[in-house]
Amino acid sequence: MTVETTPILLDIRQDVAVLTAALMDINSVSGDEAALADAVESALRTIPGLQLVRDGDAIIARTELGRPERVILAGHLDTVPLPTVEGSLGTVPATWESGVPGTGNLYGRGATDMKGGVAVQLALAATMFDGGAEPGKDVTFVFYDHEEVEAVKSGLGRLVRNHGHLLEGDFAILLEPTDGTVEGGCNGTSRFEATTVGEAAHSARAWMGSNAIHAAAPILSRLAAYEPRTVNVDGLDYRESLNAVKINGGTAGNVIPDRCVVEINYRFAPDKTPDQAEAHVRELLEGFDVVRTDAAAGARPGLNHPAAASFVAAVGAEPKPKYGWTDVARFSELGVPAVNFGPGDPLLAHKDNEHVDADAIRECLRALRSWLAD
């Protein structure tokens, strides 16, 4: 039996910083985005002039004004899990450091990654037809689920498969946190498992076996000694990283382990394909059993596209590279030039003290509203 629930009512015309707090108060850890998606859909359906499509917990809302240029504004609804550390500020519901809503720093899960950006999207959608005004560009708003987990679950990936024609455009802006500047492209990311095999034995008679964890020591040594590169791509310097992120081996405290798996994450510059990145890792770990378990291509900056250049000029700050992987890569694969631009310091994403300044959210809204009106 399905139990229908009434969507949470969002006032998307309120101050955009206060709206951010309201979005943060709706828990939406990956896999649990339904309540927030319902609230977003309900709010968007009150806006005349938008055509909506809902797919699972993802929503596409489009203007159809016949403009010669279409811009896509996209953001994910999910967050990473809540912190487990007692006294953490990365909580749900959100808290205002000042105690005054809309003033100063807003703390809580999703403050930077990326409910501030989602609030900006909703505020733009709510007001772009006010007073008979119309945006100078057609706009597609995209809100999607499952960004913070493995690529196969991505809500944006599902939208591409099911409604790809609705994601066509001339330029896309992903409202990931960038501290108020434009970040072009993104690094690619790939994961690998390097496995060593030994022979189990009682630890009191260790010489009868072969320790698979000890056999993994050269893998860790090579990774520790590895010097990551900085690669210039179309004028932006992308820093790479290659690290062991997890290790698993052993069955009991008195058994010599017969298997050990080292999980490795490689963040590679967008001059490489995932296959080229894999070849690089295999060369470093030659002699070991290495399996690629996940990969997502990066995206070149694309800042030479006219729409991107005009947006960079409107923002006014020197563009930077995006070191982490973002969904600009998906838009790039669709042939849509894309950049990252949103409120909040990306270095605070996923941290236990995640927070965003209220004025940073307002400034992001102002910049986008001004540019869309041209």
Which amino acid would we find at residue 320?
Answer: K
Q: Which helix (DSSP H) or strand (DSSP E) does residue 209 occupy? A: none
- Among 78, 176, 258, 357, the active-site one is 78
Q: Which two tokens stand for residue 41?
A: 């859909």
Q: Is the peptide bond before 114 cis (omega within 30 degrees of 0)?
A: yes
- Does 78 participate in catalysis according to the annotation? yes
| Measured distance CA(271)–CA(266) in Å, rounded | 14
CA 117-172-149 angle, 5° bins? 60
Q: What is the DSSP string of 299-362?
A: B---TTSHHHHHHHHHH-SPPEE--S--THHHHHHTT--EEE--SS-GGGTTSTT-EEEHHHHH
Both ends of the chain: CA-CA distance in Å?
50
Spatial CA neighbour of 23 closest among 108, 103, 84, 80 = 108
One-letter amino acid identity for 119?
A
What span, in angstroms and rounded, lies between the C-alpha atoms of 353 and 70?
37
Cα-only R_g, the chain: 23
Is residue 258 part of the annotated active site? The answer reads no
CB 47 within 8 A of CB 129: yes
237 beta partners: 232
Structure tokens that stand for 107 in this block: 């703390």
Written as one string, the DSSP assignment of 241-297 is EEEEEEEEE-S-TTEE-SEEEEEEEEEE-TTS-HHHHHHHHHHHTTTSEEEEEEEE-
The residues, any chain, with a CB within 8 Å of residue 143's CB and separated by 6 or more, are 37, 40, 58, 59, 61, 74, 75, 76, 77, 118, 121
CA gap 39, 18 in Å, rounded: 16
Residue 3 burial (CB count, 10 A): 4
Q: Which of 33, 38, 138, 147 is catalytic?
A: 147
Residues that are catalytic: 78, 147
